Structure 1
Amino acid sequence: MINRIRAIRQAKGMTLADLAAACEPATTAQTIGRLETGTRNLSLVWMNRIAAALGVDPQSLLRAESTAPAQIIAALTAQGAEALATPREAVLPSDLAAQGSGAPPLVLAVDASVGEYRAGDLLWLQVLAPESPALARAINRDCLVPRPGGRFAFGRLIDRRGTLVGLLPPGAGQKQVVVDNPPWLAVAMMLVRPLAP
């Protein structure tokens, strides 16, 4: 089995030192590097520690050798498309399990163009508990919030006071929506937009 620690760490924008510090108990960047490259055995204990630090399911750290992953082969910069020195594995949104609540990501399907979203878009959302410290980074980001009666509110998180959550819907001229004491909030983390053939 091949481990995917490096691919997931890079997809989350973490350095070796960041991941080492996020482990409980903390470890060294050198140890994480050895586990990534396979020069140190990735035991079940290490899998659980690293998965918790990355906020993913432990099984997503492993990939069968027969499965060929999607590869990132180039990066688009201000100067144009540039080849990467070494291609790296592209991590699917479903492999980036939500941090905080431990819940899998949710997906919001866009059926009609509204604001910056186009019909056919899929918006991947990270579920967070209302008391999660990660919610501090959710201000000014698009969020999906459950409302009573099986309904939802969606929009830019503009206010959070106590149990009240204020969202500004993406449509022009729409008024702020306030939801009291939602059981969770889902913060937009990735937009998947199909291109016309």
Structure 2
Amino acid sequence: MINRIREIRKARGMTLADLAAACQPETTAQTIGRLETGMRNLSTKWMERIGAALGVDPQVLVGSDKAPRAQVIAQLGLSDPEALKTPRDAVLPSEMAAQEGDEPMLVLEVTSPVGEYRPGDTVWLRQMDAWSAKDADFLSAMNRDCLVPRPGGRFAFGRLIDRRGPLVGILPTQAGQKQQVIDNPDWIAVAVMLVRPL
């Protein structure tokens, strides 16, 4: 069976050993190598384990030949772009899954220049429950741009700067605006990716 484990692993900057260690329960680099090359059967259980370790939807691991995919052909470091020995398929934002649990990815479209954002940008956010989230998860969201629901179907967007009891403090991205305090939001979505057309 043709699969995309290798290309997604490489796109994440992971070695075979890294991916093996990230699987729950852990496995060996040899096993991952055999699954990548098709020497071992990629079962549904393996797809779920490897998908979770890579942070992608398990279905993404099995490619489709119906439509051509975007290709990663070079890498840009401190010097000139360097060609990859073998081009690989790009992992699209829509193919990324929740790191833990089933929280969906949300997308915020930017239609006017706001702070560092430009019209046409899409901000991809990972949703988490505001109150059942582990303290470490919440701390990782501090000082990052977040989308928070407000009453009446409205939202607040900006830097997450405070949480005291049921109150969450957001510093808007527009200069000169005051901090917004949201009482007991159902969820917080943390910006994890910016897609910007050139």
CA distance in 2, matches of 1:76, 1:52: 28
Consecutive unaligned residues of structure 2, counting only runs of 5 or more, are none
**1:100 alignment partner, SS class:** coil
Aligned length: 195
CA distance in 2, matches of 1:18, 1:41: 21
* C-alpha spacing 1:17/1:38, structure 2 compared with 1 (3 Å): same
Query: Residue 135 of structure 1: CA displacement?
Result: 3.1
The answer to whether the 8 A contact 1:55-1:102 is kept is no
AA of the residue aligned to 1:141: R
Query: How many percent of aligned residue pairs carry the same amino acid?
Result: 67
Match of 2:38 in 1: 38
* C-alpha spacing 1:92/1:166, structure 2 compared with 1 (3 Å): same
> What is the root-mean-square deviation of aligned Cα atoms in Å?
2.0
Query: Residue 19 of structure 1: CA displacement?
Result: 2.6
CA distance in 1, matches of 2:167, 2:9: 34
* C-alpha spacing 1:7/1:126, structure 2 compared with 1 (3 Å): farther
CA distance in 2, matches of 1:179, 1:12: 35
Consecutive unaligned residues of structure 1, counting only runs of 5 or more, are none
Query: Residue 105 of structure 1: CA displacement?
Result: 1.4
User: 1:104-123 residue pairs with structure 2 within 5 A?
Assistant: 104-123=104-123
Query: Residue 164 of structure 1: CA displacement?
Result: 2.8
Query: Residue 81 of structure 1: CA displacement?
Result: 1.9
* C-alpha spacing 1:174/1:123, structure 2 compared with 1 (3 Å): same
User: Normalised by the size of structure 1, how large is the TM-score?
Assistant: 0.87
Q: For 1:121-154, what per-residue CA distance to the aligned partner results, in whole angstroms no more than 9, with x for missing partners?
A: 1111111222144333222211111112111110
The answer to whether the 8 A contact 1:4-1:36 is kept is yes
The answer to whether the 8 A contact 1:98-1:128 is kept is no
Query: Residue 13 of structure 1: CA displacement?
Result: 4.3
Q: For 1:14-70, what per-residue CA distance to the aligned partner results, in whole angstroms no more than 9, with x for missing partners?
A: 443333223222212222222122222111121122223333322121112343321
CA distance in 1, matches of 2:184, 2:48: 32
Match of 2:152 in 1: 149
* C-alpha spacing 1:116/1:105, structure 2 compared with 1 (3 Å): same
Match of 1:48 in 2: 48
AA of the residue aligned to 1:31: T
**2:115 alignment partner, SS class:** coil
User: Normalised by the size of structure 2, how large is the TM-score?
Assistant: 0.87
* C-alpha spacing 1:116/1:18, structure 2 compared with 1 (3 Å): same
Match of 1:129 in 2: 129
